[in-house]
Chain A
């Protein structure tokens, strides 16, 4: 079974703090994704990566950066946390890059971040 793990289930930070969210997958997947999920808005893509050291902006990258130094690990960084970044953050991975009908994304359990 694919396993995607996230470093924290719950996190509380103060405005202006630098925040690191870690994601690890154990199935040698090429692609990794970071989403945030807010009530009424669904999942929105922040960044994704299709290879080590490669990253692409998603739909809402402002205020975030990412790092992928190893294939299994994808980090989301909030350089200076703000209250509007309070949200559920979900990491996902999928097997390979490209148009495949069965290229399912597997999700981690999520990190609920509260910025005070």
Chain B
């Protein structure tokens, strides 16, 4: 069964610090991997997307990496801000048509002053 596991489940960091969120997947075959940010009470919004041939992608203070050999991805947040407090969801697309995707359960990040 295709699975996407994220760690940690939750994280608290001080404003201004960096952090890294992890995503391991067993999805096969693999098409692309996205990271979404979901603010409390809102729908997810895409941060980055990477195909299997890409190994890093940046979006402002967010940098996603992908190792397709080990089936691992990480999302690094630099110089965290209070507005980074949200859930971060890893989503893996497998190249099977119908745009079937598998969602991770997310990491809940809280940035405190």
- A99 near B96 with CB under 8 A, answer yes
The yes or no answer to B105 lying at the interface (CB within 8 A) is yes
| Number of residues from A at the complex interface, CB < 8 A | 30
The yes or no answer to A26 lying at the interface (CB within 8 A) is no
Partner of B98, one of A42, A50, A101, A108: A50
- A42 near B32 with CB under 8 A, answer no
A/B pair count, beta carbons within 8 Å: 60
| Segment 29-84 of B: residues with Cβ below 8 Å from A | 31-32, 34, 41-46, 49, 51
Chain B contact surface mostly: loop
Question: What distance in Å separates the Cβ of A53 from its nearest Cβ neighbour in chain B?
Answer: 17
**With the chains together, A87 CA to B83 CA distance in Å?**
25
The yes or no answer to B20 lying at the interface (CB within 8 A) is no
- Among B41, B43, B46, B104, the one with the most A-chain Cβ atoms within 10 Å of its Cβ is B43
Partner of A101, one of B49, B104, B106: B49
Partner of A103, one of B42, B44, B99: B99
Residue pairs across A and B with Cβ atoms less than 8 A apart, 9 shown, are: A42-B106, A44-B103, A97-B98, A98-B99, A103-B99, A104-B49, A105-B99, A109-B42, A110-B42
The yes or no answer to A90 lying at the interface (CB within 8 A) is yes
B residues touching A (Cβ–Cβ < 8 Å)? 31-32, 34, 41-46, 49, 51, 89, 93, 95-101, 103-106
The yes or no answer to A75 lying at the interface (CB within 8 A) is no
Partner of B43, one of A4, A31, A40, A104: A4
| Segment 68-113 of A: residues with Cβ below 8 Å from B | 90, 92, 94, 97-110, 112
The yes or no answer to A12 lying at the interface (CB within 8 A) is no
| Segment 40-62 of A: residues with Cβ below 8 Å from B | 40-45, 48, 50, 56
A residues touching B (Cβ–Cβ < 8 Å)? 4, 9, 31, 40-45, 48, 50, 56, 90, 92, 94, 97-110, 112
Q: 16 additional contacts, CB 8 Å, given A104-B34, A105-B101?
A: A44-B103, A45-B100, A48-B99, A50-B98, A56-B98, A90-B43, A90-B44, A99-B95, A99-B96, A99-B99, A101-B31, A101-B49, A102-B32, A109-B43, A110-B42, A110-B43
Partner of B45, one of A40, A97, A107, A110: A107
